[in-house]
Structure 1
Amino acid sequence: MDFESAADRVDVSKPHPARRYDYWLGGSANFEADRASADAVATAFPSIHFAVLENRSFLRRAVPYLVSIAGIRQFLDIGTGLPTAGNVHELAQDIAPESRVVYVDNDPMVLYHARDLLDSTPAGATAYIDADLRDPGSILDNPALAGTLDLDQPVALMLCAVLHFLTDDMRPYDVVRELCAALPSGSYLTMTHATDDHLSAEDLDAAIEANERSGVPFRLRSTAEFTRFFDGLELVDPGIVSVIDWRPTEWRPHPRKEAVSMLGAVARIP
């Protein structure tokens, strides 16, 4: 994989979700367009920094659950984002060194930094696919997927903080169904998604306007809309909740659910 040439594909004039997320996390792999877009969203939703931090905290709890309780050893992480502390393979291989992870993103900046995602333990394996969630076939048919994961064995499909970038015309429910259908029984779907449950009509209008100005497609969804992604699946307790309420491992001060506005769930694919 030609990591270096990825830098030539980066368009610094247009914001990208992965780089915007990196900015909110305090990273440095972002550009002026990303920062301007992120600031536009933060103007309408000042607690966005809480949301991204709590989303990462959810991931740090969900992966150990999947490894230790569900017995998962394979992960397909789509919408990976830029490498940061606590990547999926680090969390999984810390418990089970033989864990195997395939990362997927469509930002050339993520590809450029993908070496950090490929630092696997000798017993396990990691791979990176440069592809778009909106085209599941390009992911499922990629040789790197079959070369890293055994699709006859359970896989954890990770879709954290990515589906809200698929507007309704991008067929988000069909995308999730197609991905889940390609995985064997006993696999899991893990997802987080921004919600408008706690926004007044006025705040919702402001959020929609901010996202339009930000230059990044975005679709907040209600709990009922989020629940549809899990039709036919077996939700793991406590079901669909705010990410801060999904199996907290310790007491700590945290923002209100209304400030985070992020739903999360894990479900078994029967």
Structure 2
Amino acid sequence: MSETTTSNSNTDLSGIHIVVTGASSGIGLAMAEGLLRVGATVALASRPGVKLDNQVTRLKSSGLDAYGLPIDVRSETSIAEAVKWVQRIWGKLDVLVNNAGIGMQTVNKRFLVEPQPFFRITPDEFRNMIDTNLTGYFLVARGFTPLMIEQGHGKIINITTDHEDMRCKGFVPYGPSRAGAESLSYIMAEDLRPYGITVNMLLPGGLTDTGMIPVELKRQLKSPLLRPKVMVEPIIFLASSKSDGLTAERITAVEFSKI
């Protein structure tokens, strides 16, 4: 496991076109905005709605090259439409960031203080998270990969989580969904080596202040939460030429103040 500490303040991503899923809030929004602020053209891919529209409007009003891209990562039809949009409007895709996901609060709002055993999770709850956090990564990557193969280059970055979450008491189905996404990432990296397409994983180095942790639980936590912007420096690195040739790596984002 790596820890990213390199500053990317001099990185210029002008001309780099990036799709970030789950980008209307939280980590996805922080990464998208960080990439935009170093010159990238970024499509904030998320389910359509006011939340996505407001963020895109805010970013564009700051002079950033932001686009809203409606997408449901569980739907092959929706993904196919998003791919067609990228081909029609951009003509290429340099970087795909798979980030869209749902957290444990969807099955147990008090998961951090009152863990619930796996046998109390309903099959529908299990399938819902697997379909979003694992199958969604597969479907989105599967949809955009042919475009990257055709153009002869591309980078895929899959957002994951700490290994502790994959074996922590009461973390079904979130843990299995992220463990599966990591296995998928390693296999994708090997499958895509012959095509010059890299696949890496990025995760925050601890609990992060996002909508995946209910507000009422945040006050009960003993340690401070990381800020979503902890992901900005490493995502810029992974999207830039500085990471060319790097593949099948798992990178942990850490707060500079803690190094």
* TM-score scaled by length of structure 1: 0.48
* TM-score scaled by length of structure 2: 0.50
